[in-house]
Amino acid sequence: MRKTMEIMDAQPQITPLRPPVTLPAPRAGAQGGPAAREGAAPAVEASGFSFWYGAVQALHDIDLSIPERRVTALIGPSGCGKSTFLRSINRMNDLIPGVRHEGDICLHGRSVYERGEDVVHLRKRVGMVFQKSNPFPKSIYDNVAYGVRVNGLARGRRELDEVVERSLVRAALWDEVKDRLQKNALGLSGGQQQRLCIARALAVQPEVLLMDEPASALDPIATQKIEELIYELKDEYTIAIVTHNMQQAARVSDFTAFFYMGRLVEVGRTQQIFTTPREERTEAYVTGRFG
């Protein structure tokens, strides 16, 4: 109970959603003028968001904003609600019977839970990459082309070819598969399959990319490739990544949000979270003392 109270008390401290601009931007040199982006509105903004699976409350009153064209890492021990939060953004949890929510999540200022919101269209705008790579049992080409075809995003064969190539290039997979586009995707290695899933998500031109532990089932080399890819993609995309791997969060993200027992404990610049966390609990977690 006291722990809960501590967390509750901590809430006001984390309300400044975007960190003050005065903080030095991480990797400022590599980014090339990030200051211009600091003023941008958050891509995703949750306010007072709570979520229940039946009678079990999985999320408590989450206030979190995910800034545009940045990588935000969601960390925390298993069952802390980070995946639930991620899946609430593109309403993937809708499929589970008996769920309900309170509060709101906005995508570029518009509620995703608004009455009349087209879930199918929402999911086109918010791409998702899953923990277990899930390529369709189709050819490599068709995997990437599928969402494009269904959403009618390409006119004609040539344009579709271009989209497929561009997406595979963007996902750093093109060179490895360009000679076997018509081969079944299930023949690829685990890391390649995951990059294919990223290419597939990119092909429908999402505004936000959600990644649910995208590298947890991969070996270190494949993991490194995915991380490099994430780093590259943030020039163009807003990325939210759930990870159990603290080093990964530190390596790829600009901002880090620490979840614990369904609550958002602390959010801030990744550097700050890992070096000078405001909350004791955050420090305990990032230094590996629990979780």
Partner 1 sequence: MTAVTWRHRRRRATSAVMLALTGVAALITLLPLVLIFGYLIREGASSLDLAFFTHTPRPTGESGGGMANAIVGTLEMVGLAALIGLPVAVLAGVYLAEARGSRLATAVRFTADVLNGVPSIVVGIFVYLLLVVPMGGFSALAGAVALATMLVPMVTRTTEEMVRLVPRELMEGGLALGVPRWRTMLGVVLPAARGGIITGALVGVARIAGETAPLLFTALGNQFWQLDPRNPTAALPLQIFAYAISPYDDWHRQAWAGALVLILLVLTLSLGARFALGRAQRT
Taking the complex as a whole, the smallest distance from the CB of residue 216 to partner 1 amounts, in Å, to: 14
- Going by C-alpha positions, the residue among 195, 210, 208, 282 that lies closest to residue 246 is 282
123 lies in the binding site for partner 1 (CB under 8 A): yes
Contact status, residue 228 vs residue 198, Cβ threshold 8 Å? no
**Of 184 and 216, which has the nearer Cβ to partner 1?**
184
100 lies in the binding site for partner 1 (CB under 8 A): no
The span of 5-13, 74-82, 119-127, 282-290 binding partner 1 (CB under 8 A) equals 119-127
| Integer-rounded Cα radius of gyration of the chain | 19
Taking the complex as a whole, the smallest distance from the CB of residue 139 to partner 1 amounts, in Å, to: 10
Token pair for 81: 């609600």
216 lies in the binding site for partner 1 (CB under 8 A): no
Amino acid at 275: T
* Binding track, positions 155-194, relative to partner 1; x by CB under 8 A: -----------------------------x----------
Token pair for 59: 């999320």
| The only residue of 58, 140, 164, 197 in contact with partner 1, by rule CB under 8 A | 197
Contact status, residue 70 vs residue 234, Cβ threshold 8 Å? yes
Taking the complex as a whole, the smallest distance from the CB of residue 289 to partner 1 amounts, in Å, to: 33
| The only residue of 136, 190, 231, 278 in contact with partner 1, by rule CB under 8 A | 136
Amino acid at 110: R
**Of 60 and 200, which has the nearer Cβ to partner 1?**
200
132 lies in the binding site for partner 1 (CB under 8 A): yes
**Of 201 and 273, which has the nearer Cβ to partner 1?**
201
Taking the complex as a whole, the smallest distance from the CB of residue 131 to partner 1 amounts, in Å, to: 8
For residues 73 and 58, give the distance between their C-alpha atoms in angstroms, rounded to a whole number: 19
Q: Which residue's structure tokens are 């639930």?
A: 84
55 lies in the binding site for partner 1 (CB under 8 A): no
Strands 99-107, 44-53: pairing is antiparallel
| The only residue of 53, 130, 174, 231 in contact with partner 1, by rule CB under 8 A | 130
226 lies in the binding site for partner 1 (CB under 8 A): no
Taking the complex as a whole, the smallest distance from the CB of residue 134 to partner 1 amounts, in Å, to: 4
| The only residue of 7, 107, 204, 265 in contact with partner 1, by rule CB under 8 A | 204
The span of 14-22, 73-81, 128-136, 251-259 binding partner 1 (CB under 8 A) equals 128-136
For residues 252 and 145, give the distance between their C-alpha atoms in angstroms, rounded to a whole number: 28
Contacts of 102 (CB under 8 A, 6+ apart): 48, 49, 50, 51
Contacts of 258 (CB under 8 A, 6+ apart): 75, 76, 264, 265, 266, 267, 273, 277, 279, 281, 282, 285, 286
125 lies in the binding site for partner 1 (CB under 8 A): yes
Cα distances (Å, whole numbers) of residue 256 to 75, 82, 96, 121, 277: 7, 12, 28, 28, 11
**Which stretches of the chain bind partner 1, using CB under 8 A?**
90, 92, 95, 97, 120-125, 127-128, 130, 132, 134-138, 146-147, 150-151, 184, 197, 200-201, 204
